Amino acid sequence: MKKSQHRRLPRTALGVAAIAALALTGCAAGGEQNKPEVKLDAPFAAVTAKAAGPIESVTWMLGSEPTTMDADIDATTADDTVLANTCDRLMQVQPDLTLGQGIASKAEWIDDTHVVFTIRQDAVFHDGSPVTTADVLWSMNRHAAEGAAESDEYQNVVSMSQTADDQITVTTTQPDAIFLQAMAGDGGIVWNPRVIEAEGDGFGGPASASACSGPYQIESWEPGSQLTITKVDDYWDAEVEALAEKVVFRWADESATVNSLTTGEAHGAYLENAGAAVTFAGSDSVSVFQGPSTNAWVLETTDRGALTDVRLRRALSLALDREGISAAAFSGLAQPWKTPVGAGAWGYEADEFQAAYDELTGAPSKPSAKDLEQAKKLVQEAGVPSEPLIVASNGSSTHNVIANALVAAAKSIGLDAEITVVPEAQYGDFYSDAELRDKADLWPDEYYISKNDPLGFYKNGKSDAGVNFGVFADPEYDALVAAGYAATDDAERAEITIDLQRRWVEDAVWLPVVATPSTLIMANTVTGVPSSAAYIYYPWAVDLGSTKG
């Protein structure tokens, strides 16, 4: 399933080109003209310095309150930041965004259409019951069920069965180059069936019992106030030594989060808006870190009406001032971007992806006179819609800047556009509520994937994909996605994915806006956590500790 702030990894680490592409202190990918206007002297790496010792309690800020701990319903960034520490997965994303073992000690493709998972027999759920192979299979079936948020990760799966006391065999319709990586995301969470069945509709809510086996468990969730996770003292994996006894999550908007970090009320936060990091430049008590990420801000389109015409989507993309958005919304610390997924996804064949990126057209950093002329011609060909285009915003400063930039872009090429504000609590429903989507032609959001393989994003363009909202359908594209999954050779898969990327951008399925690195703010008293986007899936709190022994 898609991942967004309001609501996937080959075996190789991120290439040098991918890392350089998103380093805030260096050149932007896609050209010298895309250098950030503001320099921030912050290290760019996958991890921060190792902690020197344990710590009793840490306060961590989230951009919004978690919504549910049931990832099969949905998972916002806030949800996943908590779930990463409380729920084990079949496989595990590593801090450098590569793939490691989880509840499965081994995963092996025995032929083109059969993969065998060897399940550890020593894992224990938070209620003290053992994690059985049957429990893992039950969890996979729940993720794969029709309508489940992660069901698209199982799209090529024909059957799943327990074939030994410690083995599950998955049969697919074809080779699937990114299925194992998907099992490190929310589609690989291992649930306790007995807890979920006992909790019923209440599962995942503030009063729900834990159905997981991770190194932390939720001690309390006070709606509207805070959520606290505590270390599992008898965690089943003896190789994992969690340093933080307790992590208290609080949530606030950007300005309040900055204030909490500045005053020392909070110890850290992964920022939604990289631009907020500028506040801490030169601070003696707080440090800024960046790391690889697949994140990109996009304007997602709906089939409400006018934007089902590809010419109007292309026209808007040509007219959008991405450089201005970077400056106004991100203090220049975001890269004007041509694609809907960040360079952190280039986990293999990075040079080829970079070269293909550089050749893309249709999403300029700043529209030229020629771009605007071309956009106006497209509008003339398509005809001006009788009703204004509607772009949604959740009222945050970032969303408002992007929405206003879209309105300005539309006006510059002879189109009318208006903004509608959707409350933050309902904003994520754009992904699941067709009636809500019918109220807007576009909405801005930050989107990311759990794999450092761009194919994990471009599958979203398939005609039957869960986040293809009716503006794009191409049988050739669908066939290429299938071919990409079947391409276990990296070079072959990169070639196919680059073709998918070109088709997506040419059709402006979503309008790419800017790419942002993972941005971490931490008090100088704590350290150890990943500075990459791995925090969304990796149990980062186990590494969080004191800078003093």
pTM of the model: 0.78
CATH 3.10.105.10 fits 3-42+294-515, yes or no: yes
**Sheet of 167-172, strand order:** 104-111, 114-119, 167-172, 157-164
pLDDT given for residue 4 in this prediction:
47
Over 50: is that where the pLDDT of 13 sits? no
Over 60: is that where the pLDDT of 23 sits? no
pLDDT given for residue 448 in this prediction:
87
Q: What is the 3-state secondary structure (H, E, C) of 218-272?
A: EEEEECCCEEEEEECCCCCCCCCCCCEEEEEEEECCHHHHHHHHHHCCCCEEECC
Over 50: is that where the pLDDT of 67 sits? yes
pLDDT given for residue 24 in this prediction:
34
Q: What is the 3-state secondary structure (H, E, C) of 160-211?
A: EEEEECCEEEEEECCCCCCHHHHCCCHHHECCCHHHHHHHHHHCCCCCCCCC
pLDDT given for residue 282 in this prediction:
83
Q: How confident is the model at residue 247 (pLDDT cuts 50, 70, 90)?
A: very high
Higher confidence at residue 506 or residue 15? Answer: 506
Q: What is the pLDDT of residues 526-538, one digit of tens each?
A: 999 999 999 999 9
Q: CA–CA separation, 413 vs 376, rounded Å?
A: 5
Q: How confident is the model at residue 344 (pLDDT cuts 50, 70, 90)?
A: confident
Over 70: is that where the pLDDT of 195 sits? yes
Bridge partner list, 104: 119
pLDDT given for residue 370 in this prediction:
98
The average pLDDT across 362-380 equals 98
The average pLDDT across 496-509 equals 97
Do 160 and 141 touch, CB atoms closer than 8 A? yes
Q: CA–CA separation, 179 vs 299, rounded Å?
A: 28
Q: CA–CA separation, 364 vs 100, rounded Å?
A: 38
Over 50: is that where the pLDDT of 6 sits? no
Maximum Cα–Cα distance for the chain, whole Å?
68
Q: Which amino acid is at 260?
A: S
Bridge partner list, 420: 392
Over 80: is that where the pLDDT of 432 sits? yes
Find all residues with CB under 8 Å of 200, minimum gap 6, and list them. none
Q: Picking from 33-37, 206-210, 422-426, 503-507, which range would have the lowest pLDDT averaged per residue?
A: 33-37
What's the Cα-to-Cα distance from 421 to each of 92, 397, 426, rounded to whole Å? Answer: 37, 12, 10
pLDDT given for residue 406 in this prediction:
98
Q: What is the pLDDT of residues 259-291, one digit of tens each?
A: 999 999 999 999 988 888 888 988 999 999 989
Number of other residues whose CB lies within 10 A of the CB of residue 174 = 13
Q: For the chain, what percent of residues have pLDDT higher than 90?
A: 81
Provide the 8-state DSSP code for 124: B
Q: CA–CA separation, 83 vs 330, rounded Å?
A: 28
Q: CA–CA separation, 266 vs 523, rounded Å?
A: 8
DSSP string, 279-307: GGTT-SSEEEEEE----EEEEEE-SSSGG
Number of other residues whose CB lies within 10 A of the CB of residue 507 = 18
Helix (H, G, I), strand (E, B) or coil at 216: strand
Mean pLDDT of the chain: 91
Helices (H), strands (E): how many in the chain? 16, 22
Bridge partner list, 172: 157
The average pLDDT across 387-413 equals 96
Token pair listed for 45: 């790496």
Over 90: is that where the pLDDT of 9 sits? no
Instruction: Tell me the pairing of strands 55-62 and 268-270.
Output: parallel
The average pLDDT across 314-334 equals 94
Q: What is the CA radius of gyration of the chain?
A: 22
Q: CA–CA separation, 431 vs 434, rounded Å?
A: 8
pLDDT given for residue 29 in this prediction:
33
Q: How confident is the model at residue 20 (pLDDT cuts 50, 70, 90)?
A: very low
Decide: residue 260, CB within 10 A, 0-12 exposed, 13-18 middle, 19+ buried.
middle
Q: CA–CA separation, 55 vs 52, rounded Å?
A: 10
Helix (H, G, I), strand (E, B) or coil at 376: helix
pLDDT given for residue 331 in this prediction:
87
Over 50: is that where the pLDDT of 27 sits? no
Token pair listed for 133: 């192979």
Over 70: is that where the pLDDT of 180 sits? yes
Helix (H, G, I), strand (E, B) or coil at 336: strand
Instruction: Tell me the pairing of strands 417-421 and 389-393.
Output: parallel
pLDDT given for residue 424 in this prediction:
86
Do 114 and 179 touch, CB atoms closer than 8 A? no
pLDDT given for residue 37 in this prediction:
42
Over 80: is that where the pLDDT of 450 sits? no
Find all residues with CB under 8 Å of 447, minimum gap 6, and list them. 2, 3, 4, 295, 296, 297, 298, 300, 340, 341, 457
